[in-house]
Structure formats: structure tokens, C-alpha cells
Copies of this chain bind each other. A is one copy, B any other.
Amino acid sequence: MRGKWRAGVLGGLLAAGSVFAAEPAGKFPPTTAEILAAAPAAAWRPIPAENLLRMELGDGRAVIIEITPLIAPRHVANIRELVRRKWFDGHAIVRVRDNYVVQWGGPRDDRAIPDMVPTQLPAEYERPLKDIPFTPLPYPDSFAARTGFADTWPVGADSQSIWLTHCYGTVAVGRANAPDTGSGIELYAVIGHAPRHMDRNLAVVGRVIEGMDVLGALPRGAPPQGNYEKTAYIPIARIQGYAAGDAGAPRFEVLRTDTPTFAQYVKARANRLDPFYAKPAGGVDACNVQVPIQRRK
């Protein structure tokens, strides 16, 4: 599609933007950009330095991941320890499957898994609903009884349980067939349409908050699974973590999901009505809400 932003490319031909200029003020509800610009500082929460991981590829490009112990605390503790022990440093991206996942790490003959780290963890795919504050999304979902948000994270829920959903950019733990075979030595990030069938079947531990433009554009491996040949592995220089309060850590903030501002934002996402969109859907899925995350000024 092409909105007013394409005026430069369009030249004078289609006079993009003229419709916008002609609209009477007040015809359209606030846009998401206007809602965010007007949001009070309290509508945002900083992302703690200790929940950030910085993955640097061999070519110097960086990917920033926020991890959360919300649903899979033992897996996240394992990952923190693996990062401290430099398990991922000098490792590689080993798989890129189109419309699915980028995957990195994993067992290798030439690398001993740090012996402090359990190589198998019990499944941590969901938790009791009563344990976690939940803001439901007021629209139906194709995969779960309900969806919504918990502490800024998109979640699914039924009457008993709550779990993190697989959305574009979600980071989770690879495993073999048995549920207790994941450890965190191998991770993946979603690079396509939300594979929500993976919800409750794998341990979700985080999300990419910067650098999806890097991961999403990596060359795809051979179909059907996208595994790279070893000669095509993409080197990871390192994954580093940060101590709490580390002044050198990247500074991000995320829009809180338990506020009137967020409710207004969701409503605007579900009911786009502006010079470009004439027919609002009247709904939105939990992944397409796209909780705003930004670098702190």
C-alpha cells in the first residue's frame, strides 16, 4: 500500500496527501501516534537492564532481546547462566525457516555444555491464571479462549491457565520431542506469521525489541526445515547480559498494558479510521496489537 508518506516517490502524479489536507479537523479519532505522543510518563515502564540481552553477530550487527521470567523462570535462569558462561559466544545461527523461525545455539560436538547448567528442564509453558494479573483483549481469538496482556506481554488464557503467545519477534527455547528436553542452549525467534500452535508447547522466554530487521532478513535455509549447511552458519560474536542498574546498558521503555492509555491504543489499532483506512476491522489479534517499545531519550 502507499499512504501520504510515499509523496516523495509518487511525485505529483497521484497527489498523495491531498485528501488528508482537505479533511476537516476532528473527522478522525486520535491515531496511535497521537495517543503515544500524549501518553503520560507513567504510561511507560523502563525495561530493567538485567532483562536485556545483546546478541552481536559476527559482522557487528546487533539484536536486543528482552527476557522475562513470567512463565518460564527456570529456563530464563538457565539462559542467564549460559550467557554468563559465554555459551553463545562464537556459536552460530543454524537455521532460518521462511515464515517461521530463526534458530541459534544448540549442542555441538566441539563445545562442552557448561556443567553448572541443567541440560533438561521441566516444561514451563503455562501458569495458573490466578497467579498473574491479566488484562484481557476484548476481541475473540482463533487459538485460545481469551487473549490479552500481562505486564506488557501478549498472552493467551483459558479458565485455569495463562501463557505467553508466539508472535513476530517472540523468543523461545528449542527442544527435542519430549517436553523436558529444553534447556536454553538453543533459542529461536519467530520471523513470520504468528505460529500460535506453538503456544503452551514450548517455553517462551522473551522478545526481540530491536534488530528484527536483521533477523527477519537473514537468508533462508533449505526447505522444508530451513537448516543451514554448516558452511553457511552465521557466526554469533557474543551474547552479553547486563547487571541491574548498569549505566552502560541500552535504555528502553515499553508501554504499560494495564493503563487507560493502552486501552485507548488498542482501540485505535482495532478501529483504524484515517485518511488511508476507510473501513475499520473492529478487532485486532493479540500479536497485531504490537505493544509499543522504544529507546528511552
Copies, count: 2
Q: Bits for A208-239, please: 1 = Cβ < 8 Å to B, else 0.
A: 00001100111110010101000000000000
**Is there an interface contact between B285 and A142, defined as CB atoms closer than 8 Å?**
yes
**Is there an interface contact between A216 and B98, defined as CB atoms closer than 8 Å?**
yes
**With a CB–CB cut-off of 8 A, which chain B residues contact A139?**
142
Interface of A is mostly: loop
**Is there an interface contact between A285 and B227, defined as CB atoms closer than 8 Å?**
no
**With A177-B17, A197-B284, A278-B201: A94-B1 Cβ-Cβ less than 8 Å:** no
Interface with B: A49-57, A166-174, A248-256, which one?
A166-174
Other A-B contacts than A2-B176, A4-B176, A196-B284, 13 sampled, CB-CB below 8 A, are A2-B186, A5-B225, A9-B106, A9-B107, A99-B169, A143-B283, A144-B281, A177-B275, A196-B285, A196-B288, A197-B277, A213-B220, A216-B220
Which 5 pairs, one residue from A and one from B, show the smallest C-beta to C-beta distance?
A142-B285, A140-B140, A16-B176, A213-B220, A19-B177
